[in-house]
Structure 1
C-alpha cells in the first residue's frame, strides 16, 4: 500500500455526512494517513487514524497482509464485511446513533468553569485515566490535541475532570467526543464542556454532530439535553478490537 496526499481522493468520501469523518479529519488536520493499493487509478482507499478507519473501493484489491495490520473501528460499506471477517473472524458490528444539532437549537450559555485547554495544561492531563485516553486519539495524543487548541475542559484541583473535543473535524460537520473522569461523573460536566464546544464549532461555521451507541444512555442523555436530533442509524465494524460497553 502507498501513502498518498489525501486531497485528490476526497471524491471517494463525498458527500460529507455526519458521523465518522476519518478521511476529512486526516485531510484537514494532518494527523493519520491515507493509503491506496496503487497510484494513479487506485482501486481501494484506506483512511487511517489510531483505532479508527474508513475503507472505500473493492475489498479484493486490499492485500491480505495490509488488511491484517489494520485494527480499530471501521467505517465501510456492507460489502466489506466478508473481507474483514476473513481477516478477523471475530469482526463484529457496533451499532451507532448519529445525531445533528439543528440550526435553530440554542447555543448553551457558557459555563465559567469550562475553558479552552492549551499546551500549558499538559500536566493536568498527565493522569488521564485509561478509560478516557481515547478522547485524544484522533489528534495524535494529548500533546497534539492541546496544541490544536480545540479542546474544552474543566480542571478540579489541578487535574482534568472532563474534556470535550471535535473527535472528527470535517469541512461541514464536527463530531463531538466527550469524557468525564470517573470521580467527577453525574455533575453535569460533560454537558458543560460539550456545550462550550458547540459554541466553538458554530463560530467556525460548522455543524455540531454527536455519535454514540444505542446502549449508552448517559451519552444519549447529554445529547438530548443539548438539543441534538437523531439523523440516522449507522454501524461500524470492530476489527481486532473489543466493542466498548457502557
Structure 2
C-alpha cells in the first residue's frame, strides 16, 4: 500500500459510506478535520483504498488486489473481534458530580490539562492530531477539580450525520459518575449541532457498554472486525 496525496481525497471519499454511525464515520472525520492518512494499492485506478486515523482504520475494495506478500503479512496478524455500535435513543440517567468538580466544555487553554492525562489514555485525542487539536475543536467536555482534568468525553469521529463518542476517566475517579456527566453534556452539544451521538466498543468491554446504556445509548448493530 502507498500513501496518497490529499489532493485526490474527494474522489477517494466515494469509496466509503456516508452518514453511518461508529467507525464507518472514519473517512468523513478525516475529510472534515484533515487528521488522518489515505492509502491505496496503486495511485491510479486503485483496487483497494484505506483510511486511518488514531487507532482506527477502514479498508475498502477487493483485498485480492493487494500484493500476495503484503496481504499475507497484514491478515496473518489480524485478530477477529466482536464490535458493537450504539446510537443515542433515550435520556441519560440523572447524575450529581462531587462537590468541587466543574463539568464544562474544553477550550484551547485546556490543552496542557488534556496532555496530562494518564499515558495509556493518549488515544483520546489521537483523532484530532493531539491534545491541542482536541482542546481547540469544541468537541470535548471535561470534569475538572482545581484545574486537573479528571474525566473527558469527546467526539472521536466526526461524521456528517453521527458523531462517535469516546470517554476516559482518570484512575481513582471511575466511581464518581464523572464520565457519565461529561458524556451527557457532550451529547447535548452534538444534538445542538444537528447530529446524533453514537458509541462504539468491544463486546467484551462491559464497563463501556454499561456506561453507554446509562448515557441513553441503545444497540444498533453488531459486527466482527479485524484488529492488528
- Indicate how the Cα distance of structure 1 residues 108 and 29 shifts in structure 2: closer, same or farther if over 3 A, else same: farther
Cα shift readout 1:118-152 (whole Å, capped 9, x = no counterpart)? 11012222321022111111111111111212110
Q: Residues 172 and 108 from structure 1, CA distance in 2 versus in 1: closer, same or farther, beyond 3 angstroms?
A: farther
When normalised by structure 2's length, the TM-score is: 0.87
Partner of 1:78: none
Cα offsets for 1:58-85 (capped at 9, x unmatched):
22333578x5xxxxxxxxxxxxxxx3x5
Partner residue in 2 for 1:32: 36
| Contact 1:97 1:234 survives alignment (8 Å) | yes
From 64, 80, 105, give the equivalent of 1:93.
Answer: 80
Structure 2 counterpart of 1:14, from 14, 17, 22? 17
Query: Over the residues paired in the alignment, what is the CA RMSD in angstroms?
Result: 2.2
- Distance of 2:91 and 2:121 partners within structure 1: 28
Partner of 1:126 in structure 2? 115
2:37 and 2:94 map into 1 onto residues whose CA distance is 37
SS in 2 for 1:168: strand
Asked if residue 116 in structure 1 is aligned to residue 105 in structure 2, the reply is yes
Q: CA deviation at 1:3?
A: 2.7
Looking at structure 1, the residues matched to 207 and 22 of structure 2 have their Cα atoms a distance apart, in angstroms, of 19
TM-score norm. by structure 1 comes to 0.81
The reply on whether 1:208 has 2:212 as its aligned counterpart is no
Distance of 1:126 and 1:99 partners within structure 2: 28
Q: Corresponding residue for 2:224? A: 235
- Higher mean C-alpha displacement, 107-116 vs 127-136: 107-116
Q: Which one of 152, 158, 174 corresponds to residue 163 of structure 1?
A: 152
Say if 1:154 and 1:161, in contact at 8 Å, map to a contact too.
yes
Aligned length: 220
**Alpha-carbon separation, structure 2, partners of 1:223 and 1:197:** 13
Q: Which shifted more, 37-46 or 112-121?
A: 37-46
Matched position secondary structure for 1:167 = strand
Q: Flag structure 1 segments of 5+ consecutive residues without an equivalent.
A: 68-82, 240-246
Consecutive unaligned residues of structure 2, counting only runs of 5 or more, are none
